[in-house]
Structure 1
């Protein structure tokens, strides 16, 4: 359940898994999935561990991050064969320092996925890009593609709310992802990094999710869930279990959060619940 304007209300928390990202390779972890079939196997294992969504990056034959419609279609088809509709599959538009906003938007328009993540600072680097971003979001709304806006700093939340107030964002509310510690020294996140996003004067969004870097990933996202948010874990940002040992696979990171929620008397939301929550916030 999402956070309301008057406070925070904890309910079933959706767990998303980001199993590979755009930069890590098997040199970082031998179980990092790269191919469509490996993503499908990871999807099935993470679904069993409690995930409701998979955040998907695709790679070329050399293992490099790409924004390629055919590669996305292949990966999505492979995951659907394994898990059906029991996981939300969200594609990334991440630039990884190579892709321009036009390319990032074009891949979503070509694939027409169920959901896509959009980094505000990448898609709208300055005011000159606002109009194109607004048209792109209008396309996503028409096609019923759920956007999740990635915010790295509380100032970006203020900017997004301003764009909503000016009618550039054609949604009454929009799901967001708060990234903790992306630009901190050593990229090591702590639960307190969430507090500026949730300060009394900070903008409120009906559906927020949190991801974090380093071995305190589980603590960060569990804190978010207890405050009415949702969790994203996975090898994209972290390879380690809370005790500091290397995780054997992505499913172990998902299971750790599922168990942590259970210890707090909470349960993990399934894909059906996540879709229902997103439908309410994206109308």
Structure 2
């Protein structure tokens, strides 16, 4: 295998906490939509679903009952697809509420934003300890060098078990709207090497695919989907999440990279 060719896995993030049907008619909100999207994205090459659930008004929710229903629907529609819940606050939930969600679900996998948990360090220690006890695969969300430094200090202090080395780096953001750029990956890759992290990347905006291809070549895994981007590189709207996954997989294949599935 050429030195610039890599194996990689794809996670799909099909909806996120904020976007609505007015942003894209194929954004999955309901349980049937989430299940159908999971199956289509699994067929296109995604191994994991990054799961957000919504309340009756379409707002972001961490309700355990809604999560259980969604996880069951996805498991029926897409057997063997891994499911990762989010504990994202989205400006709504406190660290205490995030901990309560984890305690109620004890999920197989969860993403946790370091900067959100840093608002309440005592809750952070309890949350990471609970996940270690439950066997939850934690993926630390890292938005900036400050988040990386916080995680490093928590490893040293014992707040985060040293075995929890899975992270996702975030390029760009919703507000203020900041599209991702491939040159933003350099510092993240250096940090991943320095801390021996198992890393993935997600990227906001129409440069998503280019950023993810750069991440694959650098040895990372990737997360793609409507949570972060609705557009093709040319600026037209993507048909749906499965189209986004398939286009990334095709581009990675053309570059010689090898997709890993569950």
Per the TM superposition, whether the score is higher than 0.5 is: yes
Residue matched to 1:96: 90
Q: 1:123-272, aligned counterparts within 5 Å?
A: 123-125=117-119, 129-182=120-173, 186-199=177-190, 203-271=194-262
C-alpha contact (below 8 Å) 1:13/1:229 kept by paired residues: yes
CA shift for structure 1 position 261? 1.3
Partner Cα separation in structure 2 for residue 56 and residue 50 of structure 1: 17
1:162 aligned counterpart, secondary structure:
helix
Partner Cα separation in structure 2 for residue 63 and residue 201 of structure 1: 36
Change (3 A) 1:244 1:201: closer
C-alpha contact (below 8 Å) 1:123/1:133 kept by paired residues: yes
C-alpha contact (below 8 Å) 1:196/1:202 kept by paired residues: no
Report the more deviating stretch, 208-217 or 109-118.
Answer: 109-118
Partner Cα separation in structure 1 for residue 179 and residue 60 of structure 2: 23
- Alignment of 1:16 onto 2:11: yes
Question: What is the TM-score when the length of structure 2 is the normalising length?
Answer: 0.94
Which sections of structure 1, spanning at least 5 residues, go unmatched? 1-7, 272-283
CA shift for structure 1 position 208? 0.5
CA shift for structure 1 position 246? 0.3
Partner Cα separation in structure 2 for residue 141 and residue 200 of structure 1: 23
For this pair of structures, how many residues does the alignment match? 260
CA shift for structure 1 position 119? 0.6
Partner Cα separation in structure 1 for residue 236 and residue 129 of structure 2: 44
Partner Cα separation in structure 2 for residue 250 and residue 121 of structure 1: 28
Superposed CA deviations along residues 116-160 of structure 1, whole A, max 9, x for unmatched, are 1101111112xxx22331222121112111110001002211220
2:70 aligned counterpart, secondary structure:
helix
1:170 aligned counterpart, secondary structure:
coil
Partner Cα separation in structure 1 for residue 203 and residue 10 of structure 2: 13
1:90 aligned counterpart, secondary structure:
strand
- Alignment of 1:122 onto 2:112: no
Partner Cα separation in structure 1 for residue 239 and residue 7 of structure 2: 26
Of the three residues 58, 63, 67, the one matched with 1:72 is: 67
CA shift for structure 1 position 77? 0.1
Partner Cα separation in structure 2 for residue 130 and residue 268 of structure 1: 38
Report the more deviating stretch, 161-170 or 216-225.
Answer: 161-170
2:229 aligned counterpart, secondary structure:
coil
Change (3 A) 1:192 1:26: same
2:202 aligned counterpart, secondary structure:
strand
Change (3 A) 1:183 1:46: closer
Change (3 A) 1:166 1:76: same
Superposed CA deviations along residues 214-269 of structure 1, whole A, max 9, x for unmatched, are 11101101110110101111111100112221000001111111111101211222
Residue matched to 1:3: none
Q: 1:37-48, aligned counterparts within 5 Å?
A: 37-48=32-43
Residue matched to 2:99: 105
Q: Calculate the aligned-residue CA RMSD, in Å.
A: 1.8
